Amino acid sequence: MYDSAVIPSSIYSSKASKLSGLCSGLRYMLVLAFAWLLGGCGQPLPLDKAEYAGEWQSADMYLLIQHDGSVEYQRYDGNSRTSISGGIQKFDGNDFEVGIGFISSRFEVSEPPHRVGSDWQMVVDGVRLTRVSDVQFY
């Protein structure tokens, strides 16, 4: 007859390995979430880079840079679209890096923001952008 108090050890080891896998997966997700929180904030724009703030556009690129350092980027190339959201992690000359945690993208600025007539323009990754609106301080 089957004794309900006796449970084969294989059931314990099976459940233990599933629980261990679940815990390590949860731990991995928590580490990623923590890295996202730390790295996603970025850095506020330095005073000497305040002109970078605003909504910038061309026919195939959109770039929103907030004073708090957050960035939204979209670039269209035929049927494909590249999107990046994150915080500015650092400036290197006129160039800047946007990312979350250890994942980042570098934006090469060959012409920093400057006036052309009544418009503000800059060249990012070889594309001339025009500022279509300023971003307000919050």
The structural domain count of the chain equals 1
Domain containing residue 114: CATH number: 2.40.128
The pLDDT of residue 101: 83
In a domain, 108, yes or no: yes
Cα separation, 90 vs 98, whole angstroms: 8
Q: What are the angstrom distances between the C-alpha of 132 and each of 42, 84, 91?
A: 23, 19, 23
Residue 112 is assigned to a structural domain of this protein: yes
In a domain, 58, yes or no: yes
- Residue 2 inside a domain? The answer is no
* Domain span holding position 124: 47-133
C-alpha 126/C-alpha 60 separation (Å) is 12
pLDDT the model gives residue 17:
54
Full-model pTM: 0.69
In a domain? residue 138: no
Q: Is residue 16 part of a domain?
A: no
Q: What is the pLDDT of residues 19-69, one digit of tens each?
A: 555 555 556 554 444 444 444 556 899 999 999 999 999 999 999 999 999
Within a domain: residue 80?
Answer: yes
96: in domain: yes
